[in-house]
Amino acid sequence: MVFWTPLPLIESLADLLPLVLALLSAFVGLDCASRIATHRWPHSFVWAFGSALAFSTINVSLHLLWVDAAGPGFPVGYHPVLLVTAWVLGVLFSLPAWWLMFSPHPSIGRRIAGGAVLGATLVATQSVAMLAPGFLPGLQWAGTAILTALTAMICAAAVATWIFQDAARYVASRSVRWLAASTVMGFALWWASYHLNVQSNWLQQSGTAYADMISLGALTLLASLGTLVLLLMTMLLSLVETHMQSSLRLVQGTLEKQSLTDPLTQLPNRSYLEKTLPEMAREADQTHRPLSIMFLDLDGFKPINESFGHRFGDLLLQEVGRRLVQHATKDSLVIRWTADEFVVLGRPADGRASVAATARKLLDGLNEPLTLEGRDVPVAASIGIATYPQDGAHSMLITHAEAAARSAKSSGGNTYCFFEPRMLQDIREQMDLLRDLKVALDQSRLELYFQPKVHAPSGQITGAEALLRWNHPTRGLISPAVFIPIAERFGLIGTIGNWAIQQACRQIREWRDGGLRMRVAINLSVHQMRQPDLAERIASTLAIHEINPRLLTCEITESVAMEDTESTKRLFARLAAVGVHLSIDDFGTGYSSLSYLRQLPAEELKIDRSFVVDVEHSADARAVVDAVIKLGIALDLKVVAEGVETEGQYQVLRQLGCNELQGFLFARPMTAKMLFLWATIDRQGKDQEFRPSLFADTLLHPLHAEAVKRSDG
């Protein structure tokens, strides 16, 4: 029954005034209250006080408006102290209510409590205001009106705060939510105040005790205008504060952007990377897509800066930044780390291969000719690469990439290398070895050792494989397993590979001049495979030494051949056109398809030693070797087994039909001089001899025929 009390009748524009003021008050109060959670003390208190001020003022004003609208038949006056007391009580009691409802993350319990306090404040304010005229003979209060007012304010507070704060998932617009919440709160306030004023028995009173004090008419006019002015001023202050906050956010955004941007190159700076990297690492964890960091340190920047001045150096850094952005992948982030150091952050799609390709592209882009102020300026960089999560936590990526960049610079610069844990553990030893390796290359301290191959059915020697050795002046003979990885990481493998080709061809020529026709096999690394002029360089070297291309075997591991099948096919075709003998090494460890294998102009399969080791005792290993040999027969390919160390292995491989064998059972790797003596002197009159075809003249390429005729003469 309480909640079905009819709404107040609105018969004229004057009757709309209480509703308009109530809605406006709720609008202003909610706007002020919404800032409580977004401001710190004491500013949050100021906005809570603004809401309390608007609420208490409208409470007193609504009382005066309802009394004036009722039109009592006797003069009504108000005691100023009681009226001010009602207003002050409204401010003091509603202040904690707004705080409860709009503090950060309020619970439903706090919202209900805030609504209850707000309802109680409304009842208290209206009750004290009702006492201010001193109605005679006395007032009698309606309990239903009080209960109605309390219930309305509690429900309205809960609904309005939910709409304003939690309904964002349903209604994105803050203005719409603000208007809806204000409407709910304003109507509740208007309706509750109506019941508190109209359902008391003051209309049956005969007069007031304070009729000679402030008249109702004057107070009503003053309250209406004053309330309207107060609400408009509060709203204006809120709008000004909103504008100031918006301007402040804009300024803060500009300052933050400036703090995260390098002023010289306009690239993101170190602070931006340190802020962004953890987020990108979390994204990498979620998407399982690795993250790569390239640390670029410009080579020779300090002399340029010192010689031509800082302004010239700044122009160079700007151009470097532009080139890095131009040549980096689309999803990469280029950052200026410090003076002449840059970082490229990316998400490689194909692992290390794509990262290496990007690094090479960046280096090539930096190496493009550059003219500044009429001067030709050489630009190069050393790049260190680290990936997440393979190379450790994201907090260590920069450190690891920087260590790799130092290693690249120590190797001569203008190259890249990937991070390895050993770079942090034994970086000094690696730098010493790298330095000595460069000296060894310059002073020809590297050597080729040769391990003979034998014809399995007859035991006659058919050729030899060239194996790289480094005879260090203080450390003695260093295995390729030690220095080849260093050469690969620091960009020397190409130089070493070219040297090996030159030395192998030179040795073939020397043996040929001494009467020994020896076929020599060399291994081509993955780095050499990526050199576009590899076939032309081999052809040129063969021509320089005037030897038959058939005396040179190029061994390419199966795993390398399978990395990029189209590139491998093109390279095999170019090498076959040169005329060299082609062999697929470590066969059985990769994933060759028969259809692809048939398309390669290879002439030889070399069984990986891991199968040869167990061929004597393992049925599985014997089955693999047997399958490879049968495959070779079917494709008309010669099959070679390496790593033969026991007589039992030798007998099994012969029985299975293997063509050639290589291993310690026959000979260990030896110098070229020892092999020459071993082949021409030590082996004479013994069971194992060279096959006659190695000594007899073979059909030569016309380019080499005249040179061979001279050497045979």
Distance between CA 551 and CA 535 in Å, rounded?
A: 15
- Give the pairing of strands 660-662 and 416-418: unpaired
pLDDT band at 686 (very low <50, low <70, confident <90, very high): very low
Tell me the C-alpha distance between 437 and 44, whole Å.
70
d(CA 99, CA 37): 9
Q: Is the pLDDT of residue 562 over 70?
A: no
| Separation between Cα atoms, residue 308 and residue 303, nearest integer Å | 8
| Mean predicted lDDT score pLDDT of the chain | 79
Q: Please tell me the distance from the alpha carbon of residue 157 to that of residue 192, in angstroms, as a whole number.
A: 13
Nearest to 204 by CA among 74, 78, 69, 77: 74
Residue 324 phi, psi (nearest 5): -65, -45
Please state the length of the chain.
Answer: 713
Q: Which residue has the higher pLDDT, 54 or 294?
A: 294
- Coil vs helix vs strand at 78: strand
Strands 660-662 and 638-642, sheet pairing: parallel
The domains of the chain are located at 17-248, 270-425, 432-699
Residue 538's pLDDT band (cuts 50, 70, 90): very high
pLDDT at 417: 92
* Structure confidence by residue, pLDDT tens digits, 151-170: 888 888 788 888 877 777 77
Using 50, 70 and 90 to split pLDDT, how confident is the model at 334? very high
CA distance 659 to 409: 47
Class for domain 270-425, per CATH? alpha beta
State the Cα–Cα distance between residues 571 and 530, nearest whole angstrom: 9
Q: What Å distances lie between residue 134 and 78, 204, 210, CA to CA? A: 8, 13, 6
More confident residue, 546 or 67: 546
Record the tokens describing residue 522, joined without a space.
């060399």
pLDDT tens, residue by residue, 240-257: 666 656 665 665 666 566
pTM of the complete model beyond 0.85? no
Phi, psi of 325 (to 5 degrees): -65, -40
Q: Domain 432-699, what fold?
A: TIM Barrel (3.20.20)
The pLDDT, as a whole number, for residue 596 is 67
What does the pLDDT look like over 478-528, one tens digit per residue? 888 788 877 876 778 888 888 999 999 999 999 888 888 888 999 888 778
Residues whose CB is less than 8 angstroms from the CB of residue 478 and which lie 6 or more positions away in sequence, other chains included: 433, 469, 470, 471, 472
Instruction: Look at residues 692, 698, 688, 693 and name the one whose alpha carbon lies nearest to residue 457.
Output: 688
Instruction: Enumerate residues 6+ apart whose C-beta is below 8 A from 375.
Output: 308
Q: What is the DSSP string of 532-589?
A: TTHHHHHHHHHHHHT--GGGEEEEEEHHHHHHSHHHHHHHHHHHHHHT-EEEEEEETS
- Write the pLDDT tens digit of every residue in 2-24: 344 455 555 555 567 788 878 88
Cβ–Cβ < 8 Å for 181, 166: no
